[in-house]
A and B are shown apart, each in its own frame.
Chain A
Amino acid sequence: MTAIVEILSALFLLMGVFLFLVSAFGIIRLPDVYTRNHAASKSSTLGIMFILIGTLLYFYYEHGHFDFRVVLAIIFIFMTSPVAGHLIMRSAYHTGVKMWDRSVQDDLKKTR
Chain B
Amino acid sequence: MLKFALLGVSLSMIGFLYRLIKGPSVPDRVIALDAMGINLIAIVALASIVMDTSAYLEAILLLGILSFIGTVAFAKFLEKGEIIEDDRNR
Contacts and interface: CB of A to CB of B under 8 A. Distances in A.
Interface of A: 10, 13-14, 16-18, 20-21, 23-25, 27-28, 33, 36-37, 40-41, 44-45, 47-48, 51-52, 54-55, 58-59, 62-63, 65, 67, 69-70, 72-73, 76-77, 80-81, 83-85, 87-92, 94-95, 97
A13 B9 CA distance: 11
Given A13-B1, A88-B34, A92-B78, A27 B16 contact: yes
User: Dominant SS at the A interface?
Assistant: helix
The range of chain B's interface size is: 35 or more
Contacts of B28: 33, 36
B71 A84 contact: yes
A76 B64 contact: yes
B68 A88 contact: no
Given A20-B8, A20-B12, A21-B12, A33 B31 contact: yes
B54 A36 contact: no
B27 A77 contact: no
A87 B72 contact: yes
A24 B11 contact: yes
Given A76-B64, A95-B78, A88 B46 contact: no
